[in-house]
Amino acid sequence: MMSLNREISHATHLQEADLASYVINATKEVFDTMVMMALEDSYPLKEPVTSFHCSVTGMVGLAGTYTGILSIHCPRSFALRITSNMLGMDVEEVGEDVNDALGEIANMLGGYVKQILSKGGLDINLSIPTVISGEDYTVNSMSDSDCVIIPFTNENERFLVGLKLRKEV
């Protein structure tokens, strides 16, 4: 069972369900306003997912008083739909446009998470987004026990948003 570690719950005064709810609302808002897609969430994830096939993953790192990774993992077909909607034109291949679109979604979601953890914003930095894609790959951070993963669906296609956090001393 994936779960938020106790240290984070204690430091943020948030239970895992609260943090998950915040990420769900943030993801729905980003998709509603920037991607023009309505999402359904099906939290909690029933079984761990670490291996991806024909997928695209966008990630942004947090560093400072908290460290962590916010990630979005999509099947290739869904990544193409997201990018097409964001750009307002048909995108048929995974390339620069898809990488940029997925990176920007990760960046916006990372901004929401940063705002929960840091009121001022100067004690946590967001990294420039990283995007990977491929036929088969594994994301190791997703196998850790302190990772919250939320499944979303749109038109029967599923994608995941993951958040792994650690409190720095």
Which parts of this chain interact with other proteins (CB under 8 A)? 29-30, 33-34, 83, 86-88, 96-97, 100-101, 103-104, 107-108, 110-112, 114-115, 118-122, 126, 128
Residue closer to other proteins (CB basis): 23 or 101 = 101
- The minimum distance between CB 86 and other proteins, in angstroms, equals 5
CB nearer to other proteins: give 45 or 108: 108
- Shortest separation between residue 143's beta carbon and other proteins, angstroms: 27
Name which of 18 and 100 has its Cβ closer to other proteins: 100
CB 34 to other proteins: min, Å: 5
N- to C-terminal Cα separation, the chain? 26
Q: How far apart are CA 149 and CA 43, in angstroms?
A: 8
Closest CA to 100 of 131, 54, 73, 57: 131
Residue 155 region by backbone torsions, left for phi larger than 0, else alpha for psi between -120 and 50, else beta: left
Tokens of 44: 């909690």
Q: Which is nearer to other proteins, 20 or 117 (CB)?
A: 117
CA dihedral of residues 57, 60, 61, 64 (deg, nearest 10): -160
* Smallest separation, CB 87 to other proteins (Å): 6
